[in-house]
Amino acid sequence: MKVIFFCILSLPLLTLSLRSLLSLKNHGLYRFVVWECILWLSIQNYRYLIVEKFDLQQLISSALMAASLMFVLSAVFIMRKKGIVSKQRRDHTLFDFEKTTVLIESGIFKHVRHPMYSSLLFLAWGILLRNIEVTSLIVALIATCSCIFAALVEEKENIEYFGERYRHYTLKTKMFIPYVI
């Protein structure tokens, strides 16, 4: 039954990602892998998402999931407020909100270059911590590696588009976690 749910719920993710799935040079492929890993972890651990006991592991899990929500909402808010989306960016593999022509360096982007990938990382590990199993740990590690690959590929794309200004931005900010990584 879990496999059926996974396949059904993968269809919208597949549809969203079709434009970028066939290119290893595009961050969309790696993002799709992360989404699939998180979907798998969610289906695998759905019984444990609502917890009745609170131990340290569950508190860390809840904190990671709350941080995930905070990071993605902050990123979306500041992108909508400061990002200037333009059709000039003709890359068909990008979602419309990614076609910003302005390098955003305020809000959460002042501290983290990839808050949406951070959000996905926090979510994957938060779900994993609800009930750790070997296969789930492997899937969370795959999600982590895919997030890192997505961010590295996206950095190349951003350097190509924004040039030296983005390189300078990378020196002032962390990739995923403020003041840490």
For the stretch 50-74, pLDDT in tens is 877 789 999 999 999 999 999 999 9
3-class SS at 92? coil
Residue 141 has a pLDDT of 98
What does the buried/exposed string (b/e) look like for 89-107 if buried means 16 or more CB atoms within 10 Å of the residue's CB?
eeeebbeeebbbeebbbeb
- Give me the half-sphere count of Cα atoms (radius 13 Å) on the Cβ side of residue 133: 10
What does R_g of the chain's alpha carbons equal in angstroms? Answer: 17
Q: 85 and 97 in contact (C-beta within 8 Å)?
A: yes
Alpha helices by DSSP H, listed for the chain, are 2-17, 27-44, 56-82, 115-130, 134-162, 164-172
Low-confidence ranges of the chain (pLDDT < 70): 92
**CA distance linking residue 42 with residue 27, whole number of Å:** 23
Q: 92 and 3 in contact (C-beta within 8 Å)?
A: no
Residue 53 has a pLDDT of 76
pTM, rounded to two decimals: 0.91
Q: How many whole angstroms from its chain centre is CA 50?
A: 23
Residue 66 has a pLDDT of 97
Residue 166 has a pLDDT of 96
What does the buried/exposed string (b/e) look like for 23-44 if buried means 16 or more CB atoms within 10 Å of the residue's CB?
eeebbbbbbbbbbbbbbbbbbb
Residue 96 has a pLDDT of 76
Residue 54 has a pLDDT of 80
